[in-house]
Amino acid sequence: MPAGVKTEVRTYQTYINGEWIESESGKTFPVYDPATEEVIAQVPDSNADDVNRAVSAAKAAFEDGPWASTTAQERGRVLFRLAEKIRQNAAQLAELEARNCGKPIVEAEFDINDVATCFEYYGGLATKVVGYVNPVPDNAMSLSLKEPVGVAGQIIPWNYPLMMAAWKLAPALAAGCTCVLKPAEQTPLTALEIANWLADVGLPPGVVNIITGFGETAGAPLVQHPDVNKIAFTGSAAVGKIIVKQAADTVKRVTLELGGKSPNIFFADADFEAAIDGALFGVFINQGEVCSAGSRILVQKPIYKKFVDAMTEKTKKITLGPPLERETKMGPLVSKEQYERVRSYQDIGKKEAKLAAGGGRPAKFAKGYYVEPTIFYDVDNSARIAREEIFGPVAAVIPFEDEKDAVKIANDTPYGLAAAVWTRDIFKAFRAVKALRAGIVWVNHMQPTYVEAPWGGYKQSGFGRELGPGGIEEYLETKQVHINLNEAPIGWY
């Protein structure tokens, strides 16, 4: 493409009841490429009226449409077909994802592969949902039946746009629910693209509806809607708290995956080279825009100085660049808002601790929301950069004395999403695993995530679990059935 020639700015519509339609207001808002700061698409600015239309389509599809009588086998096949479509179009989806959220193309390719894997996993699980026979002490048969929870509202963040959508759509559809999905306003494009294939793979109209819009005007009406039975949310802790309050009036089922300030703990006996890599990967992957980012790096005192030096040296060599270049290891942050937020934490950090690397905006880019990977050390765990989720490539390195000290600092946070511990001592590793208050604990690694294993947090990192066999449970109700086998009156009166 010659310099100065712009790609076409596409205007999308809303996907409701199997059709592409205009939003009620007709208004749209721009979607950006954070590397160029240019508008790459316009999407509908949905409001409560659009939410009402999407929810009534989802409710009708749940109650009266063909989906209600679709067998688990067929639902499984639908998910496999969707996974296949995603694999066939993986290159284009990865490119769109990378352009829209700024992540390196190589990472976006991993994401899209995971998206397909997630649909395949829950496609297989659709036929493994089983109930129970309860051993009640009577001449009766007591059953527990598993049934879909109904209409699921799904609110998605911008860091892993299509992957977070898949984590929610796949188990919901396997369970037999219908969905209204709202992507993040910054990154709605890949979800809108897959909507093109939903009818082809066999989803009846209304089973999946996709509305774009902002949190307060499109997300909140979805949370408050009386016909939405469940909300699944991934996003900030602040919004998670609002959602719990807003869901209370209609007693909605809610699952939340919120932020974290996850500790990545390095004992002096850890494999040093692997440890340095693990510390950097833990906090800088996806520009640090990761809910489970190992943003507190706890290092035992005997290796502390050497560790900070080695991290610093490697960090200076991280290749920042345009998301679509294959050598790029770190792209721009997702938005101007996020850029400013992270820049402000870089400034806060300079007042609270010592700076080892980064701390600003890389000089080589005229445009784009790039920030330097940043390392602060001698950070006190009470500092703001150690307590508040930054959601960018900013590491806080904290020294510790011994095992007891490490666990105490690690758990001293309102969050509890993830933690990691690095040591060659199996006893120490397992003691730490037991003591850490987090929903995911890695030993000698940080970040690998599998659709087969549960994901979610302790404490203020949320509740409920996505992925794994338990992920589908969050979309199921339990119906207890009692069948009296006595052909006689109770005889009480």
Among 72, 242, 244, 453, binds ligand ADP (CB under 6 A): 242
Check if the beta carbon of residue 177 is closer than 8 Å to that of residue 166: no
- Is residue 436 within 8 Å of residue 421, measured between CB atoms? yes
Q: Rounded CA gap, 112 and 123, in Å?
A: 17
Query: Hey, what long-range contacts does 13-16 have (CB within 8 A, 24 or more apart)?
Result: 13/44, 14/44, 14/46, 14/50, 14/54, 14/210, 14/211, 14/212, 15/192, 15/195, 15/198, 15/208, 15/209, 15/210, 15/211, 16/50, 16/53, 16/54, 16/57, 16/206, 16/209, 16/211
For residue 401, list its beta bridge partners: none
Least gap, CB of 183 to ligand ADP (angstroms): 6
Q: Which stretch binds ligand ADP (CB under 6 A): 12-20, 123-131, 239-247, 311-319?
A: 239-247
**Per-residue string for binding with ligand ADP, 208-227, x by CB under 6 A?**
------xxx--xx--x----
Minimum Å gap between C-beta 37 and ligand ADP is 18
Tell me if residue 101 is catalytic.
no
CA distance linking residue 474 with residue 254, whole number of Å: 9
Closest residue to ligand ADP in the complex (CB): 215
Q: What minimum distance in Å lies between the beta carbon of 172 and ligand ADP?
A: 17
User: Contact 13/22 with Cβ under 8 angstroms?
Assistant: yes
Q: Quick count: other Cβ atoms within 10 Å of Cβ 207?
A: 28
Smaller CB separation from ligand ADP, 340 or 452: 340
Interface pick for ligand ADP out of 53, 75, 99, 182 (rule CB under 6 A): 182
Name the residue nearer to ligand ADP (CB basis): 300 or 461: 461
Cα separation, 386 vs 332, whole angstroms: 23
For residue 174, which amino acid is it? A
Closest distance to ligand ADP from the beta carbon of 191 (Å) = 11
Instruction: Rank residues 10 and 336 by Cβ distance to ligand ADP and give the closer one.
Output: 336
68 CB neighbour count, 10 Å cutoff: 14
Q: Does the footprint of ligand ADP cover residue 235 (CB under 6 A)?
A: yes
Distance CA 108, CA 101 (A): 9
3-state secondary structure of 490: coil
Nearest distance, CB of residue 407 and ligand ADP, angstroms: 30
- Residue 157 contacts ligand ADP per CB under 6 A: yes
Task: Provide the minimum distance between the beta carbon of 133 and ligand ADP in the complex, in angstroms, as a whole number.
Answer: 40
Which is closer to ligand ADP, CB of 216 or CB of 401?
216
Kindly report the CA angle at 322 between 320 and 328, in degrees rounded to 5? Answer: 50
Radius of gyration of the chain (CA): 24
**Residue 155 lies near ligand ADP (rule: CB under 6 A):** yes
Q: Which is nearer to ligand ADP, 238 or 481 (CB)?
A: 238
Residues 185-204 that bind ligand ADP (CB under 6 A): 185
Shortest Cβ 155–ligand ADP spacing (Å): 5
Cα distance between residue 153 and residue 229, in whole Å: 8
Catalytically annotated residue among 97, 185, 291, 389? 291
Residue 252's nearest CA partner among 214, 271, 225 is 225
Which residue number, 286 or 315, has a Cβ lying nearer to ligand ADP?
Answer: 286
Question: Which pairing describes strands 230-234 and 151-155: parallel, antiparallel, or unpaired?
Answer: parallel
To the query of whether residue 257 is one of the catalytic residues in this protein, the response is yes
Copy the structure tokens of residue 100. Answer: 């829209």
Binder of ligand ADP out of 43, 239, 254, 438 (CB under 6 A): 239
Q: Considering the candidates 97, 109, 120, 257, report the single residue annotated as catalytic.
A: 257
Interface with ligand ADP includes 236 (CB under 6 A)?
A: yes
Residue 122 CA from chain centroid, whole number: 17
Rank residues 243 and 406 by Cβ distance to ligand ADP and give the closer one: 243
The answer to whether residue 97 forms part of the interface with ligand ADP (CB under 6 A) is: no
Q: Please give the size of the binding site for ligand ADP, defined by CB under 6 A.
A: 17
Q: Is 184 in the site for ligand ADP (CB under 6 A)?
A: yes
Least distance in angstroms from the C-beta of 431 to ligand ADP: 35
What is the contact surface with ligand ADP in residues (CB under 6 A)?
Answer: 155-157, 182, 184-185, 214-216, 219-220, 223, 235-236, 239, 242-243
So which residues are the catalytic ones?
A: 257, 291
